Amino acid sequence: MIKKNLADFAALIIWLLPIIYFIKIYSSLPQIVALHFGIDGKPDRFGDKGEMIWPIVLLSALTIGIYFLIKYLPKIDPKKTAGYSADTFKKISFLLVIFLSALELFIINSAITGSFTFHKFMFPLFGLFFAYLGNLMHSIKSNYFVGIRTPWTLEDPETWRATHQLGGKMWFVGGIIITISTLLLPYKIGFIIFLSITLIIALIPVIYSFIYFKKHNK
C-alpha cells in the first residue's frame, strides 16, 4: 500500500511541475508570445500569452486522465485479462505522465525563448519512450486497450504473445536508434530516420500478426 501511494504521489508531483512552473513565470512573460512554429523551428504565429493557458490546461487534464485510465484498466476490461498486466500498466501510466509533462515544459519554454527545437528534444524523447515501451511489451497480456491490438492478436492469445515479443524487440531497438540518430544527425536526416523507423515498428508487427495467425490457425 505504501509503495502504491508513493507511486501515485510521485506521479502527482511530476504532473504538477509544468503547472507550477507556468503559474510562476506567467507574470514575467511578455504580453505577446510565440504560439506556433514552422517545421524549421521558427515562430510563424504570435498572440496574447493568455492563449497559452488552454493548451496547458487541456494537456494537463489529458495527462492525469490517461494516467488513471491505464492504471485502472483491470477494473474496466471486459475481457478480464488486463489484471494479469496490472504492474505493467502502472509502469506505462507513470511513463506517460513523465512524457506528457516534459512536453508541457517544452511548450512553455518554447514560448519563452521563441525557438522550437523539436528535433533535439522531442525526437530523442520519443525514442526513449518507444524503447521503454518495447522493454515492457512482452509482459502485456491480451486486452482491448494497450498493446498491438489487431483482430488477429485479440482473437488468439498465441498470436498476441508472438506479436508482442517481436514488437517489443523492434520498438526497443528502433527507439534507441531514433534517440541516438536525432541527437547526433542534422534535422532533415534525423526526421527521415524518425519517420521511417516509426512507420516500420508500427506496421511490421501488425503484418506479422496477420501472417502468424493465418499460419497457425488454418
Selected residue with higher pLDDT from 117 and 15? 15
Residue 40, pLDDT score? 60
Could you read off the pLDDT of 87-117 as tens digits, one per residue?
888 888 888 899 889 888 888 887 777 666 6
Task: Give the predicted TM-score (pTM) of the model.
Answer: 0.78
Could you read off the pLDDT of 41-59 as tens digits, one per residue?
666 667 777 778 888 889 8
- Given a cut of 60, whether residue 1 has pLDDT beyond it is no
Distance CA 179, CA 156 (A): 34
Selected residue with higher pLDDT from 75 and 152? 152
Distance CA 97, CA 67 (A): 7
- Contact between 216 and 158 under an 8 Å Cβ cutoff? The reply is yes
Q: Return all residues near 6 (Cβ < 8 A) that are at least 6 apart.
A: none
Residue 141, pLDDT score? 84
Distance CA 84, CA 53 (A): 39
Q: Which amino acid appears at position 102 of this protein?
A: A
Could you read off the pLDDT of 131-151 as tens digits, one per residue?
999 999 988 888 778 889 999
Could you read off the pLDDT of 155-184 as tens digits, one per residue?
999 999 999 999 999 999 999 999 999 988
Q: Which amino acid appears at position 67 of this protein?
A: Y
